[in-house]
Amino acid sequence: MIMVGMAASTSIAANEDSAFDDFIADWSFNGYIKNETAYRFREPRSITKIRNILSLGGQYAISEDTSLTVSGWAYYDLAYDLFDYDTITARYVREESQPLVFVDNLDQEKDSPAADIRELYFDIYTDNMDIRLGKQFVVWGVLEGMRLTDEINPMDFRELILLDLLDYRIPLWTAKVDYYSEEATWQFLWIPDLRFHKPAPRGSEWELLQDVPGTTKPDSSKLRNTEIGIRYTKELLGAEVGLSYFYTWDDFPVVFRTSKIASTAEPTFFPTYTRMNMYGLTFVKPVGGNILKGEFVYVPDKYFGLENDTDIDGDGYLDSDGILQKKHIRWGLGFDFNEWGMDISPAISQWIILDYDPVLFQDEYDTSLALFIRKPMPEKSAVFQLLYINLLNAKESYIKPKIIFDVTDHFQLSVGLDIFYGTSSKLGVEAQQGRVLGVAADTSIQNAQFLGNFNNNSRLFMEFKYTF
């Protein structure tokens, strides 16, 4: 009896080991270990980042037509342990000259440690349909680095726009269905997960605007607040053409405000998130061995801010709660070609406010230029890259030269620069020691900058990455 029991136990253990081995065999794993170190070479000079990242992902084949994908990361920034927080953020130098709007008390919020599930979704495949359910990214745009139709996933601004494309997108719990007919593809989106742009940590060197206290947010538990999208893609005249509609929320809150003109009294703010309808068109067309790409978007119901001194009705107060709703369009064109052994991709994009009113804070035409260059250097096992962005209206720009060395098949070493040009914002406020006191006496002096606010944050960076 003892021998029989031992044999049975051995058989059960062997079966369990075999089942576990079969389970593991159905998984495919990937990931990387990465170090990102940055040094700000403008005053106050400092190492500002020593971020160590572990990213893991895997795909499990549940059956021939069903799979599970999961990925996540965790990171820790060692710079906060080795250097003074105020030195890293440069606050003790810049706080008086660069007030942080809407922030009464500057916190010492660190972007570390952090851990997050980036993807967790099921794929179900049929003969003419793919279904993806779970936390995921959805990309509709065809112009890299320009958000025109590509408004599905909100952005993480913890390092402004310096992160890789997938790193700065925030994944959302989404139901996505792709239906393939003989001549076209239909894509349907349902997004009950309401999230919005994530600002940089309070008080960090990348802080620009923060969540305004008291912001009214939609209730994600209500079905009417979910986001829906539909996209139709078809080959037409030798081009891949996409038509889309997205019923969404503006990922930036609209800051309605009550303000008395020519007064030092602080305005009363009523920030809220608002609905938008977005109608989009994209195309990608081969042209003589090169590629022409374009995007067009029509938004009939976006809100724009007024100048602080707008008082057309003469009642002494800012008109229309400081906001007007206008129709606007966005368009962009890009061209990918190869010359002198380099992949070169110039692009232009523009926002145009229709039925423009000169009291609006934003210009009628807002134009941006971008250039991406990639030069393989196989003799050095390296690739040189250059990204250039120019915001013409604001007269500000960003340049990122980077060279990537393939030390081995799995190990990469990268060095580069993040360089900013431009001036800081002037938002018609008075400040003292970094605190906003109220509306400035001369409210006509206003300009909202983006890249220029970080003119003193230019830095040298180095990255080590091991993939497996």
Structural domains in the chain, sorted by start: 2-467 (2.40.160.10)
Could you tell me if 156 and 196 are in contact, meaning their C-beta atoms sit under 8 angstroms apart? Answer: no
In the prediction, which pLDDT does 268 show? 86
In the prediction, which pLDDT does 345 show? 97
In the prediction, which pLDDT does 239 show? 96
Mean pLDDT of the region 421-446: 50
How does the average pLDDT of the chain come out, rounded? 88
Using CA atoms, how far apart are residues 349 and 458, in angstroms rounded to an integer?
A: 25
Q: What is the pLDDT of residues 373-396, one digit of tens each?
A: 999 999 999 999 999 999 999 999
More confident residue, 145 or 79: 79
Q: What is the pLDDT of residues 126-175, one digit of tens each?
A: 999 999 999 999 999 999 878 999 999 999 999 998 988 668 899 999 99
Mean pLDDT of the region 271-277: 95
pTM of the predicted model, to two decimals? 0.86
Using CA atoms, how far apart are residues 80 and 70, in angstroms rounded to an integer?
A: 30
Mean pLDDT of the region 2-20: 58
Q: What is the pLDDT of residues 180-201, one digit of tens each?
A: 999 999 999 999 999 999 999 8
Using CA atoms, how far apart are residues 386 and 403, in angstroms rounded to an integer?
A: 9
Closest alpha carbon to 238 in 288, 204, 193: 288
Is beta strand 239-249 parallel, antiparallel or unpaired with respect to 227-236? antiparallel
Q: What is the pLDDT of residues 43-64, one digit of tens each?
A: 889 999 999 999 999 999 999 9
pLDDT of 445 higher than 70: no
In the prediction, which pLDDT does 264 show? 77
Is residue 10 very low, low, confident or very high in pLDDT (cuts 50, 70, 90)? low
In the prediction, which pLDDT does 208 show? 81
Is residue 439 very low, low, confident or very high in pLDDT (cuts 50, 70, 90)? very low
In the prediction, which pLDDT does 9 show? 58
In the prediction, which pLDDT does 441 show? 39
Range with the poorest average pLDDT among 109-118, 163-172, 239-248 = 163-172
More confident residue, 444 or 105: 105
Is residue 435 very low, low, confident or very high in pLDDT (cuts 50, 70, 90)? very low
Could you tell me if 272 and 253 are in contact, meaning their C-beta atoms sit under 8 angstroms apart? Answer: yes
In the prediction, which pLDDT does 325 show? 95
Is residue 245 very low, low, confident or very high in pLDDT (cuts 50, 70, 90)? very high
pLDDT of 300 higher than 50: yes
pLDDT of 357 higher than 80: yes
Helix and strand tally (H, E) in the chain?
A: 5, 24
Tokens of 50: 């020593």
pLDDT of 438 higher than 70: no
Mean pLDDT of the region 18-28: 74
Tokens of 87: 């030195």
User: Judging by beta carbons within 10 Å of its beta carbon (0-12, 13-18, 19+), is residue 20 exposed, middle or buried?
Assistant: exposed
More confident residue, 103 or 418: 418
Amino acid code (one letter) for 283: F
Is residue 426 very low, low, confident or very high in pLDDT (cuts 50, 70, 90)? low
Q: What is the pLDDT of residues 246-268, one digit of tens each?
A: 999 999 999 898 888 877 778 88
Mean pLDDT of the region 68-92: 91
What is the percentage of the chain residues whose pLDDT exceeds 90? 68
pLDDT of 101 higher than 50: no
More confident residue, 39 or 424: 39
Q: Residue 452 in 3-state DSSP?
A: helix
Mean pLDDT of the region 274-294: 97
276 φ, ψ to 5°?
-140, 150
Across 92-106, 141-155, 209-223, 259-273, which has the greatest mean pLDDT?
141-155
CA atoms within 13 A on the CB side of 281: 10
Amino acid code (one letter) for 80: Y
